[in-house]
Chains A and B, each alone.
Chain A
Amino acid sequence: MTPKEHTSQTLTDTVNWHLAARVEDFPENGGACVYVEGKQIAVFNFSARNEWYACQNMCPHKQQMILSRGMIGSQAEEPKVACPFHKKTFSLSTGKSLNGDTCDIDTYPIRVEEGVVYIGLS
């Protein structure tokens, strides 16, 4: 797999990169949760798109630490995750609530280098 860096707008010079885990710790086309700097962060290995995403682990609907166990997929071109509790969906690229009835979620920059996954926190 080619390491890929996301150049989203949140990625600024002040971002501190934190080691999350190794690539093989994350299932293909699925997610897992990492504990970084006291935060629970959901990390998704969207291998069908050759992309990685990171967002808050808490689903804002019922404030449950669960999004990492959610199912990922696409809506048109938008990559998304569905919460396992009530299938509320969120864009993985922008964090926007796609059902429009819950708050948006925080997303984080992520990069993979030499088999290691890093999360950017500002």
Chain B
Amino acid sequence: MIDVLVIGNGMVGYKFCEKLVNKAPEGFKITVFGEEPSPAYDRVHLSEYFAHKSVEPLLMAPRQWYEENAIELITSEMVVSINREAKSITTHKGRTFNYDKLVLATGSTPFVPPIEGSNKSGVFVYRTVEDLDAMETYSKNAKTSAVLGGGLLGLEAAKAAVDMGLEAHVIEFAPRLMPRQLDEAGSDMLQATLESMGLHIHLSKSTASIDGDEAMTSMTFTDGAALEAEMLIISCGIRPRDELANESGLEKGERGGIKIDELTLTSDCDIYAIGEVASYKGMTYGLVAPGYDMATVAVEHLTGADTKGFTGADMSTKLKLIGVDVASFGDALDEGKQYKSIVFEDKNAGIYKRVNISKDGKKLMGGILVGDASNYNMLFQMMLNDMTLPPHPEDLVMDTSRQGAAAGNTVDMLPEGAQICSCENVTKGALVQAIEGDGVEQFAALKTCTKAGTGCGACSPMVNDILTATLKKMGKKVRKVLCEHFAYTRQELFDLVKLNNIHSFDQLINDYGKGHGCETCKPAVASILASAWNGLILKQDTIQDTNDRFLANIQKGGTYSVIPRIAGGEITPEKLIVIGEVAKKYDLYAKITGGQRIDLLGARIDQLPEIWEELINAGFESGHAYGKALRTVKSCVGSSWCRYGLHDSVSFAIRIEERYKGLRAPHKIKSAVSGCRRECAEALSKDFGIIATEKGWNLYVGGNGGANPQHAVLLAGDIDEETCIAYIDRFLMFYIKTAEPLNRTATWMNKLEGGLDYLKQVVVEDSLGMGKQLEAEMQLLVEAYACEWKEVVNNPALRARFKHFVNSPEADPSLKFDKQRAQKVPVGW
């Protein structure tokens, strides 16, 4: 049995233990020392501690894990010395332990610059949960705070300060934020965005003193300026905890830290050092990933396995800082001026992107992304794999994702290893192999043989795109026909339906199809017919997907959910009471949705008409939450109440929702209206989003949350309400007429040849001369609207369809529910 002592129970020390017990469950006796009372926790997400108010969710592993793996965990005990000759260590309690191998993972301590007054109360460092607890207690009597240091951690600390309800000032010595990761322009952009969120940023400021009697009340800078602050969080970088090296004579790095070689061994070959305390070639690493790499190497060496060794680390990072995407990779700053830079800047949207490319224009060397880091993974892969750049490298940073075949989101750009189906872990390479190698040409066959898209199904459109793109490359003619029953694309069928005045599935399949339809073409045709005529969909209930057939969303167990329309999210107390009463009467599980509505779940099929009858009598309408249709138009409170609001976003949202309610489309449509650019309604994540400006409204289109989030892009700026509605009419009708089945607007726009430019031409400049026609077609649908639940409630024949057995009034006897937090839930499957 080899005795391994690990000094330090932080993230890296923990990772070492985890890797060692996985690699060699026998043969090592591990003892871990941690100074803090708690076992190792995730320090990277420390600011989330406020949300949980408990360290439990942040723990890397509970105490029990150490017990189960026969690891002795000694917390609240500090190791104070190493006796290398005796191969032992001594703790502050005077206890001595022997080792065969010693692992130093002592981490680092926040660097506190020698500023006069830094010992006053109110001055904190940001490192441990104890620091956070102390800060939070103190903050209860404070209003303003300052953070010393505008780096990664400093900005995280500023978020913590904001979360504590404090006014927060960030003070940075360098002339820019995140000086190691960002250039000046990137910093400017980040600064502007953070300031618009209420943070105060002070750059090129050197602190002279922290002032106040016993407790601090203000700070003075070397330029004579002063800032009132009752609290200060110091986040000026880290110092390795290398004091154990001093007495024991372990060699140190030039700038501190315990010197290690490629095998993570210190100058004593029985002692390893890993994580922030280790100095490799004079560098210490304050990120967790290099620490984990070192832990891997140490375990490999200790167990006699092959190891690649530690040869330095990439400092690339991508993170969300207070909601802003920031990424920096490779040689981001190009301080040696060896490369050429391509820069994209959109001050309106708060986006800055820069890539550095080699002088010959062939390779990507590094870059910076602020405000939108959605293509970080692609760029990072491109750099790591030394991929040759596309002929127009500016496409890498320009927002060209909507411009047809340009770089961006097209499936061609994805590397072979990209995981397409996360349920079944199917890569793009595996799909391409099935198509090219095994000759699969049908979507259904591709799903069967690769299993892609057979789990949750969210990747199906992407699988289909890969099929089309690959077949195209193989020189095969590809037409996205609906299925084996219709040799037409959706767009062609839409035109056939309109031109020939077709109103039923039976007529369409008789005239233009073959066979008897299937679960693919029936709902697609149902959607086309609804988008063309907006008739009552229940006239052909058996071609509707189950949600549309029963006008409710099917849930586990076979019950349904009920979501009445609450336009713009505005509701009277009277109506709220009705919803509550209905929920209580029918024992429904109630939940607020993401779209500012109320979902009542667990309704039996036979209860649906009764429930809706009560809701309709109280003035509610169907919310179409079950349909590929307009869902909600979210809104912020707008200028009626909000001190920042420019226009009345609630009224406009209600107007929009009332106009497009019941509109059926190839997929669901969501919208939102924000009363100012703070964007509380999250309009940029919607199929069409509207944001108030000083002069009118900005209309954005093609946004998407969900599996592949995408921001909406500006279609038209500073327009009035009427123009805005005209453009939305045109945009939606154009989408409805030309999109493939089950493509959201974002997917449709990504594939649209000519992209955003073309869309602007059609919608804004009316290049096809069909603007008026599109508006008229929309008007027809708007006028044909009727609440479909109202029609069911008032029609006995339709009502009769809502039951489980046709030969018995009984409900489904197999329905079973559990209780969770005082409400019912279906039993799991």
Which chain A residues have a beta carbon within 8 Å of chain B's beta carbons? 20-21, 25-30, 32-36, 40, 46, 48-49, 62-66, 69-76, 79-80, 82, 84-87, 89, 99-101
Contact = CB atoms under 8 A, between A and B. Distances in A.
Contacts of A32: 805-806
Interface string B574-614: 00000000000000000000000000000000000000000
A93 B227 CA distance: 81
B525 to A, nearest CB: 12
Contact of A33 (B457, B554, B804): B804
A65 B558 contact: yes
B554 A84 contact: yes
Contacts of A46: 516
Nearest to B829: A62
A84 B558 CA distance: 10
Given A99-B448, A101-B454, A71 B519 contact: yes
Contacts of B557: 64
A84 B549 CA distance: 11
Interface string B791-829: 000000000010011111010101000000000000001
Contacts of B546: 69-71, 84
Contacts of A85: 554
A40 B807 contact: no
User: Which of B506, B519, B550, B814 has the most CB atoms of chain A within a 10 A radius of its CB?
Assistant: B519
Nearest to B549: A69
24 contacts: A25-B807, A26-B806, A28-B542, A33-B804, A33-B806, A34-B806, A35-B807, A35-B810, A40-B814, A48-B506, A49-B516, A63-B829, A66-B554, A69-B550, A69-B554, A71-B518, A71-B519, A72-B542, A74-B485, A76-B515, A82-B519, A84-B546, A85-B554, A100-B448
The 8 A-B pairs at the shortest CB distance, nearest first, are namely: A30-B542, A84-B546, A73-B518, A82-B519, A74-B516, A25-B806, A21-B807, A32-B806
A40 B808 CA distance: 11
A95 to B, nearest CB: 17
B256 to A, nearest CB: 58
Given A30-B542, A82-B519, A75 B807 contact: no
A69 B554 CA distance: 11
B226 to A, nearest CB: 65
A96 to B, nearest CB: 14
User: Which of B448, B550, B554, B558 has the most CB atoms of chain A within a 10 A radius of its CB?
Assistant: B558
Contacts of B717: none
A80 B483 CA distance: 15
B535 interface: no
B541 interface: yes
B517 interface: yes
B543 interface: yes
Contacts of B136: none
A49 B516 CA distance: 8
Contacts of A62: 556, 829
Contacts of B522: 71, 73
Given A30-B542, A84-B545, A100-B448, A64 B806 contact: no
B518 A74 contact: yes
A30 B541 contact: yes
B484 interface: yes
Contacts of B541: 27, 30
A99 B558 CA distance: 22
B518 A80 contact: yes
Contacts of A99: 448, 454
Contacts of B808: 34-35
Contacts of A34: 805-808
A75 B806 contact: no
Nearest to B805: A35
Contacts of B550: 69
A100 B451 CA distance: 11
B807 A74 contact: no
B512 to A, nearest CB: 15
Contacts of B814: 40, 65
A74 B517 contact: yes
Given A34-B808, A65-B558, A69-B549, 12 more contacts: A20-B807, A25-B806, A25-B807, A27-B541, A35-B807, A40-B812, A64-B558, A65-B814, A73-B485, A74-B485, A84-B546, A99-B454
A87 B523 CA distance: 12
A85 B547 CA distance: 10
User: Which of B451, B516, B829 has the most CB atoms of chain A within a 10 A radius of its CB?
Assistant: B516
A35 B557 CA distance: 18
B463 to A, nearest CB: 14
Contacts of B558: 64-66, 69
Nearest to A28: B542
A58 to B, nearest CB: 8
A55 B627 CA distance: 28
Contacts of A63: 829
Contact of A74 (B515, B523, B810, B812): B515
A92 B549 CA distance: 21
A103 to B, nearest CB: 15
A1 B829 CA distance: 41
Contacts of B454: 99, 101
A64 B516 contact: no
B690 to A, nearest CB: 35
Contacts of A79: 516
Nearest to A75: B518
Contacts of A30: 541-542
A53 to B, nearest CB: 12
A6 to B, nearest CB: 17
Contacts of B521: 73
A20 to B, nearest CB: 6
Contact of B806 (A21, A66, A86, A89): A21
Contacts of A70: 519, 546
A85 to B, nearest CB: 7
Contacts of B517: 48, 73-74
B554 A75 contact: no
Contact of B542 (A71, A76, A100): A71
A82 B544 CA distance: 12
Contacts of A100: 448
Given A27-B801, A33-B806, A73 B516 contact: yes
Nearest to B510: A48
Contacts of B554: 66, 69, 84-85
A72 to B, nearest CB: 8
A65 B812 CA distance: 8
Nearest to A69: B546
Contacts of A72: 516, 542
Given A34-B806, A48-B506, A75-B484, A27 B542 contact: yes
Given A48-B516, A79-B516, A85-B554, A71 B545 contact: yes
A99 B444 CA distance: 9
A71 B805 contact: no
